[in-house]
Amino acid sequence: MKVDVLLGLQWGDEGKGKVVDVLTPNYDVISRFQGGPNAGHTLEFNNKKYVLRSIPSGIFQGDKINVIGNGVVLDPALFKEEVEALETSGHDLKSRLFISKKAHLILPTHRLLDACYESGKGNSKIGTTGKGIGPTYTDKVSRNGLRVGDILNDFENKYKNAVARHEEILNQYGFEYDLKPLEEAWFAGIEKLKSYTFIDSEYFINRQLENEKPVLAEGAQGTMLDIDFGSYPFVTSSNTITAGACIGLGVAPGKIGEVYGIFKAYCTRVGSGPFPTELFDEDGEKMRKVGVEFGSVTGRPRRCGWIDLVALKYAVMINGVTRLIMMKSDVLDSFETIKACIAYKINGEEVKNFPYEINENVSPVYEELPGWKIDMTKMQSEDEFPEEFKNYLKFLEEKLGVPITIVSVGPDRAQTIIR
Ligand code: GDP
Ligand code: IMO
Ligand code: MG
């Protein structure tokens, strides 16, 4: 048995949470492999809406095991908030949520450092989610991090040493802060965390595969936010791509099965950084309004634009996508024409590869397709698809060279069409 991976092909918020939930009945284990509470994965069913940040999206479909893998960074305070909200709504996860001992902990001072570095960047700030992601991964790579497994052994000392180091930096920057309330919430989170099972998740996952139990790896963020291949430096601090699942779960490359690449029928981005197809006109405004394009966690308005096939093709290549999933097609239901960026023009030359740097000299080259102008939100099968929509799917499949096997026509679990 192999691990299937589901991940975002754009700048995040493609709808990963919704589709992981839809696919969960096909799997025994769902596992997050990177990122942390910078993620906000939304699920809707039975007129209820949930937003998950660190917990995998496989918790609502039966008694499936959910794993927080070693590649994830975990904030105990936010973890506590998240599990308590779920407990209140009747979802007790204790027996089916396992946490890797090797996952790194986000300390309260990591969040302060995130804010401190951002304010120091002025106009070139990244627009992070402020969850301490960058500083936590920095400590991991510089071999100063604290891991979940450390909670069980001489923890107070390790914590104090790390915080002393962070405070020195904060003071150097002259950054003002009040650590006490953050620390209180954090240690209450540690107590909550201790009531969960810590595991050697690499052994756990590989054993599942040996026992023919299918595993789904749930990506966070998106390929264009990948630390190596995204629009650096306007990226997150982890590898969001398929290879990240190998590292973030301890699974060999040959054990990767299907790679589900998920994208919106258009494109969005939150935070700063290049976005070649961004719209500043009423089309962009309409996408934001109809698609309710506001951050699931931060509430920040998302920047909107047409689909970018240069970036998407790049993402398909880097990830080895075997199946595509198109989300939010309903948001384009009332558009007269649909535009798709098929190349960039850079200094008068047409370019089809994603360039090293995207600056003001890069402009999108569009192909226009007729809109379908029909409400698709109640459709149940592809037989109902209008001709223009079928053409859009065919056009995308031809350009990307991979079949689109799932189409989403609304936020609810039920508004999903499997082809
Ligand atoms: P994720 O981070 O990739 O899980 O995506 P988010 O949850 O941050 O953002 C996706 C948003 O789109 C959420 O508010 C979903 O409820 C919503 N959504 C998902 N699929 C569809 C769809 O097909 N149509 C519409 N209109 N909304 C959708
Ligand atoms: P999901 O999993 C969209 C963006 C931030 C910022 C950059 C770096 O819900 O798709 P960070 O806090 O990671 O250091 O911020 O990455 N970003 C996301 N954008 N969806 C996400 O997650 C994101 N997680 C981080 O806005 O531009
Ligand atoms: Mg999101």
| 261 contact partners, CB below 8 Å, separation of at least 6 | 7, 9, 315, 316, 319, 321, 323, 324, 325, 402
Q: What is the mean predicted confidence (pLDDT) over 318-322?
A: 98
Arithmetic mean of pLDDT over the chain:
97
Ligand nearest to the CA of 15: 1
pLDDT at 139 over 90: yes
pLDDT in the model for residue 299? 85
Please, which pLDDT band fits residue 354 given cuts at 50, 70 and 90?
Answer: very high
pLDDT at 297 over 80: no
* 131 CA: nearest ligand 2 atom: 12
Look at the block and give the residue holding tokens 């809406």: 49
Mutation test residue for ligand 2: of 128, 140, 293, the one with most atoms within 8 Å of CB:
128
How many C-beta atoms lie closer than 10 Å to residue 345's C-beta? 14
Q: Which amino acid is at 337?
A: T
**Calpha distance 408→20 (Å, rounded):** 12
The Å distance, Cα 288 to ligand 1 centre, comes to 12
pLDDT tens digits, one per residue of 13-25: 999 999 999 999 9
Contact 339, 366 (CB under 8 A): yes
pLDDT at 73 over 90: yes
**Calpha distance 416→376 (Å, rounded):** 11
* 44 CA: nearest ligand 1 atom: 16
The Å distance, Cα 182 to ligand 2 centre, comes to 22
The residues carrying an active-site annotation are 13, 41
Please, which pLDDT band fits residue 296 given cuts at 50, 70 and 90?
Answer: confident
Please, which pLDDT band fits residue 242 given cuts at 50, 70 and 90?
Answer: very high
pLDDT at 346 over 80: yes
pLDDT in the model for residue 309? 98
What residue owns the CA closest to ligand 1's atom 12?
15
pTM: 0.97
The Å distance, Cα 345 to ligand 1 centre, comes to 31
Nearest to 247 by CA among 272, 227, 274, 267: 227
Q: What is the mean predicted confidence (pLDDT) over 56-62?
A: 96
pLDDT in the model for residue 365? 98
Instruction: Report whether residue 409 contacts ligand 1, using a CB cutoff of 6 Å.
Output: yes
Q: What is the mean predicted confidence (pLDDT) over 84-107?
A: 96
Q: What is the mean predicted confidence (pLDDT) over 324-336?
A: 98
Q: Write down the number of H helices and E strands in the chain.
A: 11, 20
**Calpha distance 248→8 (Å, rounded):** 16
* 8 CA: nearest ligand 1 atom: 3
* 43 CA: nearest ligand 1 atom: 16
pLDDT in the model for residue 255? 98
Distances (CA, A) of 261 to 216, 251, 406: 13, 19, 10
The Å distance, Cα 131 to ligand 3 centre, comes to 14
Reduce the DSSP state of residue 126 to 3 states and report it.
coil
pLDDT in the model for residue 334? 96
Nearest to 369 by CA among 341, 397, 328, 350: 341
The Å distance, Cα 11 to ligand 2 centre, comes to 8
Instruction: Report whether residue 14 contacts ligand 1, using a CB cutoff of 6 Å.
Output: yes
The Å distance, Cα 210 to ligand 3 centre, comes to 32
pLDDT in the model for residue 42? 97
Reduce the DSSP state of residue 243 to 3 states and report it.
helix
pLDDT at 267 over 90: yes
Q: Which amino acid is at 138?
A: T
**Calpha distance 113→249 (Å, rounded):** 27
pLDDT in the model for residue 268? 98
Instruction: Report whether residue 379 contacts ligand 1, using a CB cutoff of 6 Å.
Output: no
pLDDT in the model for residue 32? 98
* 13 CA: nearest ligand 2 atom: 10
Strand partners, 216: 4, 30
DSSP state of 412: B
**Calpha distance 32→67 (Å, rounded):** 6
pLDDT in the model for residue 295? 84
**Calpha distance 131→226 (Å, rounded):** 17
The Å distance, Cα 274 to ligand 2 centre, comes to 14
Mutation test residue for ligand 1: of 5, 7, 11, 13, the one with most atoms within 8 Å of CB:
13
Instruction: Report whether residue 311 contacts ligand 1, using a CB cutoff of 6 Å.
Output: no
What residue owns the CA closest to ligand 1's atom 4?
41
Share of residues in the chain with pLDDT > 90 (%): 95
By the 10 Å C-beta count (0-12 exposed, 13-18 middle, 19+ buried), 93 is classed as middle
- Residues having CB closer than 6 A to ligand 2 are 8, 11-13, 38-41, 126-129, 131, 133-134, 220-222, 225, 236-237, 270-271
Instruction: Report whether residue 129 contacts ligand 1, using a CB cutoff of 6 Å.
Output: no
pLDDT at 52 over 90: yes
Distances (CA, A) of 333 to 281, 369, 371, 384: 18, 13, 7, 14
Please, which pLDDT band fits residue 298 given cuts at 50, 70 and 90?
Answer: confident
**Calpha distance 416→22 (Å, rounded):** 8
pLDDT at 320 over 80: yes
pLDDT in the model for residue 61? 95
**Calpha distance 112→116 (Å, rounded):** 6
Q: What is the mean predicted confidence (pLDDT) over 187-212?
A: 98
pLDDT in the model for residue 292? 97
pLDDT at 250 over 90: yes
DSSP state of 242: H
Instruction: Report whether residue 410 contacts ligand 1, using a CB cutoff of 6 Å.
Output: yes
**Taking the chain, what is the end-to-end CA distance rounded to the nearest angstrom?**
24
Mutation test residue for ligand 2: of 38, 75, 113, the one with most atoms within 8 Å of CB:
38
Distances (CA, A) of 84 to 42, 80, 182, 189: 17, 6, 18, 11
